[in-house]
Amino acid sequence: MENSRHKFRAWDKELKQMVYDVQATYDGLEYSKVNKDIDVDAYDWMDCFESWFNDRRFDLMQYTGIKDKSGVGIYEGDIYHHGDPRITYTVVWVDSGLMGKQNNSTSYAGLESWRDQIEVIGNIYENKSLLEDHS
């Protein structure tokens, strides 16, 4: 596992975009995914990390601390498979940790045991079609 496990991203329901590294918010973010090349940051009004929790505009997701087989960081809300692309999983909180819940099933898979085979293919906000049953 990586050292930096306490990373978060947020889905902006209003602007329909993912915002990364929101745990680093003190006086706004350095940039956001969509507008990183312009001088004005859409999130400069977020003055502390707690602001992301308290604003209903955002859905906050925690980083799992592991990367998939391509080096992509795996976050809560990500959709992945580990072999058969027809069988997909969504990263969810279960009890006190993050696991993969098989979509269209009641089965769960531990992330750590499959880490070398996991391929993140999207997330629940930007790729809802991946949640459909493809069997």
Confidence (pLDDT) at 100: 95
Residue 91 has what pLDDT? Answer: 97
Instruction: Going from the first residue of the chain to its last (135 residues), give the mean pLDDT of each consecutive group of 10, the final group possibly shorter.
Output: 69 88 70 52 71 86 94 96 92 91 93 92 91 68
pTM: 0.82
**Do residues 91 and 132 lie in contact, with contact meaning Cβ atoms separated by under 8 Å?**
no
Give all strands of the β-sheet with 119-123 in edge-to-edge order. Answer: 108-109, 97-102, 89-94, 78-81, 119-123
What pLDDT, on a 0 to 100 scale, did the predictor assign at position 2? 45
- Supply the pLDDT for residue 6: 82
pLDDT reported for residue 70: 94
Q: Which amino acid is at 53?
A: F
If 0-12 CB within 10 Å is exposed, 13-18 middle and 19+ buried, where does residue 133 land?
exposed
50 contact partners, CB below 8 Å, separation of at least 6: none
Distance CA 59, CA 52 (A): 8
* pLDDT attached to residue 102: 95
